[in-house]
Amino acid sequence: MDLEDFDEDLSDEEKEFFFAASETAELLKTLNLSGISQTAAVAGSLTQMLTQLFIGSRTSGQALGILASCLSAASENVDKLQGVYKNPDDEPLH
């Protein structure tokens, strides 16, 4: 099932969220295919995303709330996506 299958039921904000998530996953795949380790790709991307989160938020509390929401969503996705992007030569991220 693709996003297009239920696209009509999503708000504009939800569509933007899924588009950003999909593009980020593609970027990480591209980095990995070009020889960048998953650890370096994720750490570099996450550092940049967190920097942008704190710069773009009105308060640290707002940034931390967004971060908490993202961590919750990520933990729910682990079972579905575990191993999909992992390079077997990389060390585990945790």
pLDDT, tens only, 1-33: 455 556 778 899 999 999 999 999 999 999 999
How is residue 92 written in tokens?
């585990």
Look at residue 81 in the predicted model and tell me its pLDDT: 73
- Distance of alpha carbon 57 from alpha carbon 60, whole angstroms: 7
Q: What is the pLDDT of residues 40-62, one digit of tens each?
A: 999 999 999 999 999 999 999 99
Place of tokens 């998953």: 38
Task: Record the pTM.
Answer: 0.66
**Residue 90 buriedness (CB in 10 A; 0-12 / 13-18 / 19+):** middle
> Whose CA is closest to 91, among 43, 45, 38?
38
Taking the C-alpha atoms of residue 27 and residue 46, their distance in angstroms, rounded to an integer, is 12
The pLDDT assigned to 1 comes to: 44
